[in-house]
Structure 1
Amino acid sequence: MTIQSIVQAGPKTITQLLDHFTEIKNLRVVRAIHAHLLITGVISFTPTLQTKIVFAYTTSHPPKSNLLLWTLTNSLRTLNLRNPLIFNSIISGFCERGYHSLAMQTFSFMHSNGVYIDSYALCSSITSASCTKNLEFGEKAHTFIEKSGWFSSVYVGCAMIDLYTKLQCISSAASLFDEIPIRNSVCANALLSGYTECKMWEKALALARRLPSLYLEMDHFTFSAVLRACIGISTVGLGMQVHGCAIRKIRYMESDVFLQSLLIEMYGKCGLLEKARQVFRMTARNRDLVLWTSMLGVLGRNGSYEQVIAVFTEMVTKGIKPDGVSFLTVISACSHTGQVNLGMEYFESMARDYGLEHSPEHYSCLIDLLCRAGELEKAWKFVEEFSSKGSRGFTVSMWGALLNACNDSGNVELGKFAAKKAIELNPHNDGIYVMLSNLYATNSMWSEIEEVREHIRGKGLKKDIGSSWIDVAT
């Protein structure tokens, strides 16, 4: 079909053709149709065509800022187009497709040109501000909402709270939560999420305790946030209460992988491995990799390394494909149990059997495995292999493992080199200085020890004192 035949068609046919050419991103034809409609004057009394033309321009791929503003300006001038529904469609379209800057520009255009702004436009543009972490736009939107009275909409209030929490403006989010006239569970969950993201565990738990008095229901997201707070402060008593409450409130909870994973983490963090195993075995979706990875992590952090290897073997036997995290855990377990050959086999199996790429963390774990077993030469070969691949992901722990092994073997030169590389990555890591000092002490290098201590004093470093705080169930 030629452009000439298209423009000679009636409004109904042109509308259908605009949909087609918009979908295939053919702006040349769209412009030709637009020109024809302007010349004939048909567009001035056909609102549907007005909408289609604006939508065609604003959904070009990728949309351009100057084209957007030109289209909107000309639409207002030539079409007197002030229908908020059209602008809402444009903003939501940009937001859904990830063109957040254009969504906010469209909102600003509406505001500047007197187009009516409703809750739909506000929520979509605030979502775009959240995704781009644009606090300046958020504060302007907040001012507009207060003046226009749109905080009477629970959706607008939720969107603003979510924006502030994503920007970690927690005090602003908390104040807004207390001020808005209408709240729902979504608002509360957004604030709870903000508290947990900022590790404000006590505030998260305090808000959760307020929910019944606010007549707000606790749902999956609420329990997830509260369990993260329980994990953060290792409070097993409250964690058990939350577990019991979730069983009563959440339907089919045993199928909720995320909640089950958090319960495993919570019991494991509090040292109750048997409770963690109980949750793991009872879940209805025990073929889910997330649950297996959580269980492996809990066992590893509690020093049950033989069980890590046993659970990993069971997972593979059941046909569940391990990921990089689960391999990291099991190689670390081999390191702590001295099973060098098995650890090497797991490392090689990653790429050979599962097509997984070795990360810096995997190399670091393997080097630690070899160093603990006294295989310093093999460990150094892997460092060279890692370097030969052009990798720049060397970690402090990788060099720290080498340094520690050098202390055991008395290899001062390699130890000094490893310490130098670790300090370059993190000059304030006091542990590296302590290990280097121990290396010198082992080899009776007292003047070098004094140099290290002077360096530590000069940087104002202090060795961290280990401590723990755990709530034990009675």
Structure 2
Amino acid sequence: MISADHSCLTLFNCCRSLTSVKQIHAHLSKIGLDVDPLIAGKLILQCCTAISASLALTYAHRFFGCLKAPNTFMYNTLIRGYSESQSPGCSFELFNQLNRNSGCSGSPPRPDSFSFAFVLKAAANMSSFRAGSQLHCQAFLHGLDAHLFVGTTLISMYAECGRGNSARRVFDEMPQPNVVAWNAMLTACFRCSDLEDARALFERMPFKNSASFNVQISGFMKAGKVESARSVFNSLGLKDDVTWNTMIVGFAQNSYFDEALMYFRDMLHMGIRPTEVSLIGVLSACADAGMLVSTKILHGFVEKSWFLENISVRNALLDAYSKCGDVGMARSVFDHMTVDRNVISWTCMISGLAMYGRVNEAIQLFYEMEESGVQPDRITFISILYACSHAGLIEQGHSYFSKMKDVYGLDPGIEHYGCMVDLYGRAGKLAEAYKFVSQMPIEPTDTIWRTLLGACSIHGNVHLAQRAREKLMVLDPNNSSDRVLLSNIYAVIGQWKDVAAIRNSMSTERMKKDPGWSMIEVDKLAYKFTAGRNYSGFTQEAYEKLGEIMSRLKEGGGYVPEVKSVLHDIEDEEKEGSVALHSEKLAVAFGLKRLHKSKTIHVMKNLRICKDCHEFMKIVSQLYDVDIVVRDRSRFHSFKDGSCSCKDYW
């Protein structure tokens, strides 16, 4: 029996799929070994920790329910599995069942330190202060609140619930906190945005390990204190892979795209093998910066390093190609995925097609996703609603919105309501958009009213714009973009007194509009241009080339600058100069100067492209026989032979 037990346990260690677990389980059931506590516990453990599929966790739970006398280890394993799943609430049900059984006669299973630690993790993942504090009381009754493992998890739970003071009390009451407990408290300080306490605590720590420094770096990065994180990194002598990963991901999240790539290269030069985390981090930097060349280089590295077997890395690669404007390569990556496509894979591809204006393909892919048995989630529906919005498909969009609840039981969130307002607004159905907002079952947020205000800006509806602005004055009075939008509406219809009033109020309150910038990648380097006059360095090349382009466009291209929204009290020549210096024009000029004629110019812009720049790109693409791809903050515009993929509907 011992030999058979050992053989079965070894087989379980080799299992990486639910199918293989079921095959071994069937064999064990035939020979009567599946009820052996050691083997049953190993089966549950393998399903809960070694196999990521949610079906494996469900299978383990069903098997658990068939056991006559499950022990504490089995309970703890399932509680742990659910605490890290999409259904952490199930951990509470299992814990309560374990707690009730502990009062029975005989030798029933009882909650131990692991039981409390795992169920507290579930409370932390749900940010449930009520459940967490009740569990704290239960731990006290069982005499386990002072246990090092439980106390450390309590600190993390209170931090996730935003209760820094409660976390600090637990820490202060710990008789002998170890380095893990100190690190948990340090994390809690950062989690609750208490940077000064975090610094002070770090200085007080009697012992530090690499995790202590990594917690500091991560905390500063999440707080946007990039230079503080860099300072901690530079102070370290020996840096592990987690340290490098934290820096790369932090740079990407804070839009330090060049630094993310540079640190990734430095890590490779140091001989440190990249991990899933570092690759996803650097790919996300390429995606957000629109760095297509770097994405292709990383694709080659991923293939050589055998990371294509990792579904998360492949999804990141798919997302990067989609956001860099190469939807063909994104589709190639997607098509080479077969049985391991998950909801993220499908959603990324649908979103990429939608951003590029290939709406029919996006809708077809959504149907294929449903037929494949992969259930769309809330983000998938945002992507498909977005696709309908940018193609003016009102009826289809409304159908998908209804399908969320009626077919999949998903309650629409504020993002989905925002998509519907955008759907009506872009199509010029402003009355329907306002009616939809007024009848929403949840309170409209500033984002909803801002979406409506943006639609009013596109279609010049001053009356409704003023109403939306009144709501925004209450919800988010200090947002400069709202006033800029309203100012532009007044300018287009010639209400210059109102324009002046808004701009004077912004000046009085020292509010500044978000500066427009555009980025282009040339020879593996990203060049960033801002709107306005800045004659220095590489920008001088862009200005000189742009001057040449503008002269050619006026002479033979039929280009007339769109200056309606520029202040009325300056000369026409100055108005034209103002719109001529938009950052995307400078980026395209730089691309024409530096790139080979056969190459497509890819530009990434942080704001919505204006009408004048849109017309400029169309004419340049025709006169210079060049393809231009511009990604603004909401979609791609692919300019070729004098036309745009958006068909002037954006």
Q: Same fold (TM over 0.5)?
A: yes
**Counterpart of 2:375 in 1: which secondary structure?**
coil
Q: State the shift of 1:292 in Å.
A: 1.4
State the match for 1:144 in structure 2: 204
Q: State the shift of 1:385 in Å.
A: 1.4
What value does the CA root-mean-square deviation take over the aligned residues? 4.2
The superposition leaves residues 210-265 of structure 1 with CA deviations (integer Å, 9 ceiling, x where unpaired) of 213433221111111111222232222222222222223345x33x3332222122
Specify whether residues 392 and 464 from structure 1 end up closer, same or farther in structure 2 by C-alpha distance, changes over 3 A only. closer
Flag the structure with larger Rg.
1
Specify whether residues 369 and 179 from structure 1 end up closer, same or farther in structure 2 by C-alpha distance, changes over 3 A only. closer
State the match for 2:403 in structure 1: 349
2:490–2:498: 8 Å Cα contact kept in structure 1?
no
The superposition leaves residues 293-333 of structure 1 with CA deviations (integer Å, 9 ceiling, x where unpaired) of 11122222223233222222322233332223322332232
Residue 219 of structure 1 aligns with an amino acid whose one-letter code is: T
Specify whether residues 136 and 456 from structure 1 end up closer, same or farther in structure 2 by C-alpha distance, changes over 3 A only. closer
Normalized per residue, which structure has more strand?
Answer: 2
Q: How does 1:8-407 map to 2 (within 5 A)?
A: 24=99, 61-63=134-136, 88-95=148-155, 98=158, 104-105=168-169, 107-108=171-172, 118-145=178-205, 148=206, 150-151=207-208, 153-251=209-307, 253-254=308-309, 256-285=310-339, 287-386=341-440, 389=441, 391-393=443-445, 395-400=448-453, 403-404=456-457, 407=460
Specify whether residues 424 and 212 from structure 1 end up closer, same or farther in structure 2 by C-alpha distance, changes over 3 A only. same
Q: State the shift of 1:132 in Å.
A: 3.7
| Structure 2 Cα separation of the partners of residues 311 and 287 of structure 1 | 13
Residue 297 of structure 2 aligns with an amino acid whose one-letter code is: Q
| Structure 2 Cα separation of the partners of residues 458 and 128 of structure 1 | 41
**Counterpart of 1:470 in 2: which secondary structure?**
strand
State the match for 1:455 in structure 2: 502
The superposition leaves residues 262-312 of structure 1 with CA deviations (integer Å, 9 ceiling, x where unpaired) of 212211222111111111111245541111111122222223233222222
| Structure 2 Cα separation of the partners of residues 454 and 244 of structure 1 | 55
| Structure 1 Cα separation of the partners of residues 184 and 471 of structure 2 | 48
Specify whether residues 316 and 466 from structure 1 end up closer, same or farther in structure 2 by C-alpha distance, changes over 3 A only. farther
Unaligned 5+ segments in structure 2 are 1-97, 101-111, 117-131, 524-598, 600-650
Residue 135 of structure 1 aligns with an amino acid whose one-letter code is: L
Asked if residue 436 in structure 1 is aligned to residue 489 in structure 2, the reply is yes
**Counterpart of 2:247 in 1: which secondary structure?**
helix
State the match for 2:518 in structure 1: 468
State the match for 2:602 in structure 1: none
Residue 489 of structure 2 aligns with an amino acid whose one-letter code is: L
Specify whether residues 360 and 282 from structure 1 end up closer, same or farther in structure 2 by C-alpha distance, changes over 3 A only. same
State the match for 2:21 in structure 1: none
| Structure 2 Cα separation of the partners of residues 367 and 121 of structure 1 | 48
| Structure 1 Cα separation of the partners of residues 428 and 247 of structure 2 | 50
Residue 417 of structure 1 aligns with an amino acid whose one-letter code is: R
Specify whether residues 107 and 240 from structure 1 end up closer, same or farther in structure 2 by C-alpha distance, changes over 3 A only. same
Specify whether residues 242 and 124 from structure 1 end up closer, same or farther in structure 2 by C-alpha distance, changes over 3 A only. same
Residue 424 of structure 2 aligns with an amino acid whose one-letter code is: L
Specify whether residues 454 and 308 from structure 1 end up closer, same or farther in structure 2 by C-alpha distance, changes over 3 A only. same
Residue 388 of structure 2 aligns with an amino acid whose one-letter code is: C
Residue 273 of structure 1 aligns with an amino acid whose one-letter code is: V
| Structure 2 Cα separation of the partners of residues 305 and 60 of structure 1 | 49
| Structure 1 Cα separation of the partners of residues 455 and 285 of structure 2 | 36
**Counterpart of 2:411 in 1: which secondary structure?**
coil
State the match for 2:60 in structure 1: none
**TM-score, length-scaled by structure 1:** 0.69
| Structure 2 Cα separation of the partners of residues 320 and 349 of structure 1 | 15
**Counterpart of 2:304 in 1: which secondary structure?**
helix
| Structure 2 Cα separation of the partners of residues 412 and 178 of structure 1 | 54
| Structure 1 Cα separation of the partners of residues 339 and 226 of structure 2 | 35
Specify whether residues 206 and 449 from structure 1 end up closer, same or farther in structure 2 by C-alpha distance, changes over 3 A only. same
2:186–2:202: 8 Å Cα contact kept in structure 1?
no
Residue 259 of structure 1 aligns with an amino acid whose one-letter code is: V
With 256-265 and 421-430 compared, the bigger mean Cα shift is at 421-430
**Counterpart of 1:354 in 2: which secondary structure?**
coil
Unaligned 5+ segments in structure 1 are 1-22, 26-50, 76-85
**Counterpart of 1:391 in 2: which secondary structure?**
coil
With 454-463 and 305-314 compared, the bigger mean Cα shift is at 454-463
State the match for 1:35 in structure 2: none
May I ask how many residue pairs the two structures share in their alignment?
394
**TM-score, length-scaled by structure 2:** 0.52
Residue 63 of structure 1 aligns with an amino acid whose one-letter code is: H
Identity of aligned residues (%): 24
**Counterpart of 1:321 in 2: which secondary structure?**
coil
| Structure 2 Cα separation of the partners of residues 178 and 339 of structure 1 | 53
1:456–1:462: 8 Å Cα contact kept in structure 2?
no
Specify whether residues 455 and 404 from structure 1 end up closer, same or farther in structure 2 by C-alpha distance, changes over 3 A only. closer
| Structure 2 Cα separation of the partners of residues 419 and 340 of structure 1 | 25
| Structure 2 Cα separation of the partners of residues 211 and 158 of structure 1 | 16
Residue 323 of structure 2 aligns with an amino acid whose one-letter code is: K
Residue 485 of structure 2 aligns with an amino acid whose one-letter code is: I
2:453–2:485: 8 Å Cα contact kept in structure 1?
yes
